[in-house]
Structure 1
Amino acid sequence: MDLRPLLGARRFRRAVAHGELASVVPLDPAAAARDIPPTLRIAHFTDTYVPRRDGVVTSLQTLTAAMSELGHSSLLVVPRHPDQPADEDLLRLFSVPCGVAQFRLAAWPRSRHVERVAHWLPHVVHVHTPGPVGLLGIFAARRLGLPLVQTYHTDLRAYADAYRLPSRVLSGVLRCYARRLGSPKPEIPRGGSRVERRHAIVDAGTGLLLADADAVLVPTPAILTRCRLPVDDDRLYLAPAGVGLPRIPPEAGPEFRRRHGIGPDERVVLFVGRVNREKGIDLLTEAFGRLRRVVADARLVLVGAVYEPRWVQRLLEQAGIVDRTVLTGQLPPEEVAAAYAASDVFAFPSLTDTQGLVVQEAALAGLPTVLADAALHASGPLAGTGVLAGTDPMRFAEALEDLLTNPAYRAKLGAEARRRAQRNSPAAYAQRMAAIYGQAVRRASSATRLVRADRGRGPFRSRRLIA
C-alpha cells in the first residue's frame, strides 16, 4: 500500500511552503495497518448527494464502493430528495429545495437524528461538507464519543469571493454556528478590506467546524497555498480522491457527437462541471472565441448544470460562439464518459477547485488538460501534467490551439496523464482512507471520547435542537 499521500506532522507544511513535497517521509505502512479495524463502519455526512452531481458526490460514491470491496461498511447521511433511489445505506433527512441545481437544505440537527445514526453502530464519523448535515456529523461524533474525520473539499474563501457574499451575512452564519456548537463567537479583527474581512470570517467558521476533528483531510496541497487551515500539523493528512470511469462501448464517443450535431472531423474542447461563475466559464468562453479565429472547426462542449442561463448566454454571445457551443446540462456518468471519448482536449479554467476530479476523469480517457490554476497544476495525482495557461484568455486560447493542431503532442500529454491517473485508483484511495480512519480511531483515546461526549450533551439539551 502506497502511503506517501498520508503526510502528517510539521514536515508536511514545511514541504508545501518550500515546494519540497516529494521529500516528505511517508507514514510507516506496518504501523498504519495495525490501526485499521478488520471491518470498519463509517458514517459519512454530506449536504450534497444525488441526483445532484459534484466533486463531493463523486468522491463519496467512489470511496464507499471501494471501501465495500475491502470489506468495510458505509452509512451516508444526506438531504432527502424525491429522485433518490431506496437504499439501506442511506439515512435521508428532511430537506427543502433551494432552487439551485437540485441542491437541498436539510433541517438543523436534532437528537433523534443522532439516535438513528447510533443504531447503525459506526466506528468513525466522516464529515464532508460544512452545512447542516455536516454539523449533525460533528454533533454525532460528540454525542457518541466517536473519532471524527473531516475533509476540506471546498475552498470556502474562493466561493465566498466568487459570489461576493456580504460580511454581515457570513457573520450571521458564524454566530449561528458558534451558538449551535456551544462555543463563543470568534473575535474578528476590525479594519481591513472587504475581502480580508470576508476571509477572516470564513477562516473563523472553518476553525469552529474543524476544532473536534481527529483527522483533517485535504485532497491536494493546493488548498494549503490558498488559505490557512486552523489545524494542528499532526491532524492534517493529504488524501487525493481516486476516480474511475464507467465502461462504455467503442461507439459511445461517435454516438455522442452525432446526438449533439458535432461532425466526425470537428475538434472538440470539453468542459465538465457546473457551468457557473466560480468555475471560470467567462475565461473559457473568451478564450474559445479567440481560438475560433484560428481553428475554425473547433467546437466547445459544456457538460454540467447551468445555474444562470442568461449569464451563460450573454457570455456566448459576447464571444461570438453561440453556434459553436453545445450545452448538454447535467448528464449521468455513462454519458459523461461518452463526452470524454468524443473530445480532443479538456479545458479546466476554474480557480476554486481543491482537486478537480474531472481532470482525473479526463486523464483516464486519455485527454490532456489546459488549466488556469497554477497551484492545482503543480499538485495532486496529476502534478505537472497537462498545460498551465493561467488566466489570460489569449494564453489559454494559444494552449488549446497547440494541442488541437498538434496530434502527436496531444497524444503524448494524454498518455502521460492517463498513466498518472491510473496509479491513483479507487482501490488505492480506499486503502489510504482505511489507514487514516485507523489512525483517527487510535488518536481518539478514551479520555478524548469522554470529553467529546460530555460536550455533545450540552447543545442537545437546547430546545432549539430538540424541537
Structure 2
Amino acid sequence: MKIAFTSDVYWPRINGVTVSTNIFLNELTKLGHNLRLWAPSYPEPEDTKGLHHADPRVARLKSWGLFFSKEDRLVSPFQRGRFFRELSAFSPDLIHAQVEFTTSLMAHSWANKNKVPVVQTCHTYFEQYVHYYLPLLPEKLGRSWARKLTYSLFRHADAIISPTVPMKAVLQSYGLNCPIEVIPTGIQEEDFKGTSKEDEHLHSRWILQFPQLRGRKILLFVGRVGQEKNLDFLLEVVEKIQSQVPQATLVVAGNGPYLDEFKAKIKQRNLDNLVLCLGYVDRKELRHLYTLADVFTFASKTETQGLVTVEAMMCRTPAVAIGLMGTKEVMNGDNGGFMVNDDVEEFSAAVVKLLTNTALYQAKSEEAYAWAQNWTASKMALRIEQLYRQTIDQYKNRTV
C-alpha cells in the first residue's frame, strides 16, 4: 500500500506523537509498504542539532511558531498548493493523520476531492491539557471548547485509532460514531536491548558523567517536562522516602516549558542533592538510562498511552505509576511494578517496597520484561496494516 502520513509534530520536536509516528513509519516500511510523511519545518534547537538526519520519506512544510507553546509549530496554510501537488504525485491509497490540525485539515480536503479514505490517531486528550496551554480561560469553558474542537477535528475520519480503551470511551462520549480501533503504538525492541543492570552500574557513562549517582537508588522519569506530567508530585515522593531509603535520587530526563520553573522549585525545597535534571537525552542513550534506573516513577494523569512505562519495563526496570488513562491500560494492574492511586503516601510506599525487598524487586524486574513483550511495535504495526485494508475496502463499498 501507499500510505501518506501527515503530522504537525515531528523531529526535532520530542514527544510521544513524534516517537509514535516515527515507530510506525519504520515498522510499516519493514512490512513492505511505501510511506511518505508531511511534517512542519523547525528551527532546530542546539541540544538536538545533527541528531535527526534527513529522511527521504519526510517532506518538510514551512511552518509558524505558536505564541502559547514555543516548542510547537503550525504548518502555514500557504503550503496548501504545494501539499496538494505532492499528495497527488504520490497518489496514496490511504492517508493517516497523526495530528489533527493544519496538515490533517488540508489532508481531509484533498482526500475528499480525490476519494481517498483517512484514518486519524488521537494522541492527545485535549480536554485535560487545555488549561495548561490557555490558563486564562476558565477551566469549565476550556473543557467544553476542547470537547467540541476534538469532535469537529475527528468527525470526518473514516476510522480513528485510539491508543487505549479509556481514550476510546472519551471519543465516543463526544458523539464520534465512526469505527474506533484501539491500537497502542508499542515499542521497537531493538532500541532497548543489549545492556544489563550489572554492566550499567559498573560502566555506565551516566555515572562517569554524574559521579554523584554512584551508589544511589535511582528513581527515573523520562518525558516532556510540562506541568501536565505532575512532576511536583515526584518531588514530594523523593522527599518522603528519604527516612527509609536515604540513598534515593530522582533523575529527570527531558526538556520542556516547565523545566526552569521545576528547577527553581527544586532549589526552593533544598532538593539539589536529591534531584538531577539531565535535559534532552537522545533515544539511543535511553536504554542505558532506563537500565541504570532502579524504579521508573510516572505520576502523569493525562497520558493517552504512557509508552515510557513500557520502555522502562523492556529494560527490566519496574514501574510505579498513577493508574489513570493510558497508564492504567498499559499496566492493567500491578503488571511490571505497582499501579497506585493519586496519593503521595501510597506511591511512596510502593517505591520503598521495591527498593527494600530484593526478592520482590527481582521478581518485578523479570515480570516487567515479560509484560513489555505484549507491547512490541511489530505486533501493533500488523494490526494497523489490517485496519488500513479494512478501511480501504469499506470506503470503496460506500463510494461504489
Normalised to the residue count of structure 1, the TM-score between the two structures is 0.77
Distance in 2 between the 1:51 and 1:350 partners?
Answer: 23
The count of residues paired between Structure 1 and Structure 2 equals 383
Selected match of 1:106 from 64, 75, 78: 75
Check if 1:208 corresponds to 2:158: no
Distance in 1 between the 2:41 and 2:268 partners?
Answer: 39
Check if 1:440 corresponds to 2:385: no
Selected match of 1:145 from 105, 108, 115: 115
**Which one-letter code corresponds to 1:236 in the other structure?**
I
**Which one-letter code corresponds to 2:156 in the other structure?**
D
Q: What is the match of residue 398 of structure 1? A: 349
1:317 to partner: Cα distance: 2.9
CA contact (8 A) 2:101 2:153 kept: no
Q: What is the match of residue 36 of structure 2? A: 75
Describe how 1:325-364 pairs up with structure 2 within 5 A: 325-364=275-314
Q: What is the match of residue 196 of structure 1? A: 140
Distance in 2 between the 1:353 and 1:53 partners?
Answer: 15
Distance in 2 between the 1:249 and 1:90 partners?
Answer: 31
Question: Deviation string for 1:309-363 (max 9, x for gaps)?
Answer: 4310232134432122111111111111111011000011001101101011011
Distance in 2 between the 1:384 and 1:323 partners?
Answer: 31
Check if 1:276 corresponds to 2:221: no
Distance in 2 between the 1:85 and 1:335 partners?
Answer: 17
Distance in 1 between the 2:192 and 2:166 partners?
Answer: 28
Query: 1:92 aligns to what SS in structure 2?
Result: strand
Query: 2:185 aligns to what SS in structure 1?
Result: coil
Q: What is the match of residue 46 of structure 1? A: 7
Distance in 2 between the 1:331 and 1:321 partners?
Answer: 22
Question: Taking structure 1 as reference, are residues 200 and 437 closer, same or farther at Cα in structure 2, changes over 3 Å only?
Answer: same
Distance in 1 between the 2:127 and 2:245 partners?
Answer: 37
Selected match of 1:94 from 51, 62, 66: 62
Which consecutive unaligned segments of at least 5 residues does structure 2 have?
45-51
Question: Deviation string for 1:259-282 (max 9, x for gaps)?
Answer: 122443211000000112000111
Distance in 2 between the 1:235 and 1:126 partners?
Answer: 14
Higher CA-based Rg = 1
Q: Which has the higher contact order (CA 8 A, sep 6+)?
A: 1
1:437 to partner: Cα distance: 0.5
**Which one-letter code corresponds to 1:92 in the other structure?**
R
Q: Mean Cα displacement is larger for which, 67-76 or 368-377?
A: 368-377
Q: What is the match of residue 222 of structure 1? A: 166
Question: Taking structure 1 as reference, are residues 375 and 147 closer, same or farther at Cα in structure 2, changes over 3 Å only?
Answer: same
Check if 1:115 corresponds to 2:60: no
Check if 1:85 corresponds to 2:53: yes
Q: What is the match of residue 176 of structure 2? A: 231
1:74 to partner: Cα distance: 1.2
Check if 1:316 corresponds to 2:259: no
1:368 to partner: Cα distance: 1.1
CA contact (8 A) 1:127 1:151 kept: yes
Check if 1:135 corresponds to 2:105: yes
Across the aligned residues of Structure 1 and Structure 2, the Cα RMSD in angstroms comes to: 2.3
1:196 to partner: Cα distance: 3.3
CA contact (8 A) 1:350 1:373 kept: no
Query: 1:110 aligns to what SS in structure 2?
Result: helix
CA contact (8 A) 1:248 1:334 kept: no
Question: Taking structure 1 as reference, are residues 356 and 442 closer, same or farther at Cα in structure 2, changes over 3 Å only?
Answer: same
Question: Taking structure 1 as reference, are residues 381 and 394 closer, same or farther at Cα in structure 2, changes over 3 Å only?
Answer: closer
**Which one-letter code corresponds to 1:357 in the other structure?**
L
Query: 2:53 aligns to what SS in structure 1?
Result: coil
1:366 to partner: Cα distance: 0.9
CA contact (8 A) 1:206 1:230 kept: no
Q: What is the match of residue 17 of structure 2? A: 56
**Which one-letter code corresponds to 1:121 in the other structure?**
S
Which consecutive unaligned segments of at least 5 residues does structure 1 have?
1-39, 168-193, 450-467
Distance in 1 between the 2:213 and 2:260 partners?
Answer: 27
Q: What is the match of residue 17 of structure 1? A: none
Distance in 2 between the 1:361 and 1:395 partners?
Answer: 23
Question: Deviation string for 1:262-303 (max 9, x for gaps)?
Answer: 443211000000112000111111111112232111111100
Question: Deviation string for 1:95-150 (max 9, x for gaps)?
Answer: 23448574333212513311111211211101111222222222232232211100
Normalised to the residue count of structure 2, the TM-score between the two structures is 0.89
Distance in 2 between the 1:93 and 1:317 partners?
Answer: 41
CA contact (8 A) 1:377 1:384 kept: no
